[in-house]
Every structure is written in structure tokens, then in C-alpha cells.
Amino acid sequence: MARFRSRRGMTFVELLVAMALSMILIYGMVAAFGRVGREASDGRARIEMANQLRNVINRLNQDLEGATAPVRNWNSPTSGAGYFEAIEGPRNMRTGLGAATQVQLFDDIDDVLMFTSRNDANPFRGRIVDYATGNVNYVTSPTAEVIWAATPITAPLGTDSDPRDFYIYRRAMLVLPSLNGANGFVHQAVGTLPQLMNVFNQFITGNDLSVRMSLQPDASGNYRLRIIANRMEDLAARENRFGHRLTVDPNGNALVDNSIREAFPHSIYVVSGVAPNFTYSYNPAFLRLFANTDAVLMSHVVAFDIKFYDPSSPGFASAAGSEMLTPADPGFYTSVDRTTLLGRGNFVDLGYAVTHGTVDVSHFSSYPHPKSGLRTLAAQVNVFTYDSWSNFYETNGQDEDRDGVTDEGADGIDVPTGTPGVGNGIDSFDEHETAPPYGSPPRGIKVTVRLYESDTRQIRQMSAMSDFIPE
């Protein structure tokens, strides 16, 4: 008779061990798949960020390559070369960005770059409203005013901790003087100053056209506004550029055409109570001028930083002596050995020595020239401006320096310097009513854009660069 051997089953302890090992294995597989998924997501985010940045930088490089104005001083306004202007805004990572946790994330975010550019291969395209019919037409022009800026949408910097609310804007305002028609203007209106400024701002919001305003008293006791399409020659005057025209002086008096010099130097910022048609520092009026959704190029921006190449700016040894620090390095202001100069020539912010209390002297380290009118702006609100500058203000029939003599720097007379019988020559610089904010032309420009992807917490940045050395 056959004998049956009993089979021994798993004990409860062995079952628990097996279950534990199975759970560990499953957990490891889930973690591995999760890691792979996160890496794939991070990889997609990196690719998307790189593509976005590359598109923006390529567009900016293309605009810079077509810059029409020689980046030097005293250009002739009749040459039709246009202009080149860059503004170092008051807020950056060393002058205050809100919460301390944001300091390492944000860099300069309120710089402004604006200049005339030409592109014959791919002309600028924009919309123009026909006010007679209300129709919107799209037209092209090889030349345009191009304005680049980054600004928050929902709240001023420091009150909103979410960096996704910052955007890169670019507006291309077409230079098409042919649209003025037989009457010499594109559009006109009669009303009070606030009404007319609303008309003007709505026009700029709805039209991609470089325009200036003519403002004159009307027989009705109001004012007549005429909106005129600019020529390239007109843009040598700062008051004719995008966002520069003021409408009232510090006392609230209307700045009609024959008194516009009262608003010199025609800044986009508020100075001494003067209210421009927009102010940049996160004023909603500024944002309205960028209301055209076509102007938004990229979101999640945490830096839009403009630097000029200054061949005379210093580079010092670090306190430890292990490396060279330049004005673009945060440690330059706190931990350098200023007795050990290692070299000169760096990309710098305008007015960097003033902003940070250092004593270094270079082409762009200090305040703008007093005669530019922009030194007061820098002293009041920490804003520094580079302008290619023309001699328009020396021959425009206005007394910009308010000394009772008009255009004495171009009258063919050698005005004495204060010493009897002593002058510096006919129409010498000391006779000029105005001066460029910075007397030395920059060698080049670097514009850095930094992007932050909040979901994956990734940061990526790229720079557009252009040299201004004459060929």
C-alpha cells in the first residue's frame, strides 16, 4: 500500500516576509517608473524652454542686426537714421525685488530696449485701423520702431510671489509716413487734454504705427490733437518716439507744440511731478500700450537684463585672490581686493558705480551728463538711459537749457566762456544746449533673458549680443 508524504505549507511568518519583499519590489518599480516619468517631464520642459528662449533670442538678434542708427553721438537728424535707446530700470536683484526668496531667482526685470530697425527680407507686419470704416488692415514696412520690455501682468514686483506673471513684450511700430494722406495726419480729434490722451493711447494700442502727436489750442477752448505718422527723420527727436510725449508741464499747463521744450528730456518716467502719457514702473497705463496680444512673446520670465560693453570698466581680484570679479558679478560689490586690478573691459549696467556706491570710474559707471537732462532722472528714481543722440536739439528753435538764448551751439558765434575775450571756438561743446547722456559710444550690447518653469523648477537663460564697432 502506497504511503503519502505530507506537503508542508508556508508558515504565517514566511507569508509576511514574502509579502514584504513583494511590496519592496513593487515600490521600487513604482519609484523607478516615477523617476523615469519625472525625467521625461523635465526633459520635455528643458526642450520647450530652450525652444522658447531660442525663438525670442533669434528674434531679438534679428532686430539688433537691422538697427539703423549708428550707436554713437551727435548723429544728424536729417540722415533718417532713426535712434537707439536703452533704459536701465530702477529695480534689479541688488536694489530690491521683494521677498528675500526671490533674490536668487530674479535679475534685472524692468530694463527697456527701443530702437529703429530695418528688415528688407522679412518686412515688419502690423495692423492699422481704418477709422472711416472701422476695418482692420494689415500692412508691412521694411522699417519700424522696435520696443522690447518685460513686465508683470497682475501685480507690481514684490507683491506677487508667482514669477509666471512676467512676460516678454515686443512691439514693432511701422514707419509709414505715406499713411498721413493729403492732410498730413492719420487721425485727429478735438477735446480736453484727458480726452485727447485717451484717444492717443487707444490709437497706439490698436495700431502698429510709429506716430507722434501735434497738440494745439482750439477755437472752442479745448485742444486739437492730430496723430501724425513718423518719418525716420522725426524719430531723432525723443518726444516723437513711442511713449515719450508729455502733455502737461510740472505746473499742469498744457504742453502744446510751441512749448514742448518744457518737457525736455522727454522721458518715459515721471520726473518732478511731470505726468507722461505713460510711466514704465508697472503703471497700468504702460501695459495698455502693450495690450495687443501679438506683442506677447513669452511668459514665465524672471530676467530681462541689458548690459553695454564698457572697455574701461575694471575687473578686480576676489578677496580670496582666486578669480577676477567684474561689475556684473554680485561679489564685486562686497568681496574684492580693489588694490589688485586684473583687467578692464566688461558688460555692465548703466550707472553701476552710482547704484552700488563704488568709486570705480569708467565710461558707463556714473550719472548721465547734466546737459542731457537725464541726470536728474537718474538721481531721483535710479534710472539710467543711453541714447544715440542727434544734434536736433541744437537747431530746433527751442531753448532747452533755459538760459534765454536759443540754439547758441549752432549760431556760428564764439560765445565767451566767462573769461573776457576767451572762447573755446565757434559752436564748441560748452555752447551746446544739450549733450548725450554718455559721451563714449558702447562697443556692444548683451541682452539676457531668463526663463523659469515653476512646475519642474527649472531655470534657463540665453543672451542676444551685438557689436557696435564700425566695419
Highest mean predicted confidence (pLDDT) among 173-177, 281-285, 287-291: 173-177
Query: What number is the average pLDDT over the span 120-143?
Result: 92
Q: Pick from 269, 364, 354, 280: which is nearest to 314 by CA? A: 364
pLDDT at 74 over 80: yes
How many angstroms separate the CA atoms of 451 and 121, rounded? Answer: 30
Strand, helix or coil for residue 346: strand
| Strands annotated E in 293-335 | 296-299, 301-318, 324-325
What's the pLDDT at 453? 80
What's the pLDDT at 80? 92
Tell me the DSSP string of 102-136.
GTTT------EEEEEEE-SSS-EEEEEE-TTT--E
What pLDDT band is residue 463 in, cutting at 50, 70 and 90?
A: very high
What pLDDT band is residue 470 in, cutting at 50, 70 and 90?
A: confident
What pLDDT band is residue 111 in, cutting at 50, 70 and 90?
A: confident
Burial of 266 (0-12, 13-18, 19+ CB in 10 A): buried
How many angstroms separate the CA atoms of 438 and 366, rounded? Answer: 9
H or E stretch at 174: strand 166-174
Q: Look up the pTM and report it.
A: 0.84
Least confident of 26-35, 280-289, 311-320, 386-395: 280-289
Domain range annotation of the chain: 46-302+373-389+435-442+452-467
Q: H helices of 247-387, where? A: 284-288, 352-356, 375-381
Query: What number is the average pLDDT over the span 29-55?
Result: 77
How many angstroms separate the CA atoms of 380 and 1, rounded? Answer: 112
Which amino acid, residue 324?
Answer: M
What's the pLDDT at 310? 94
Q: Cell for 168?
A: 516678454
How many angstroms separate the CA atoms of 285 and 250, rounded? Answer: 19
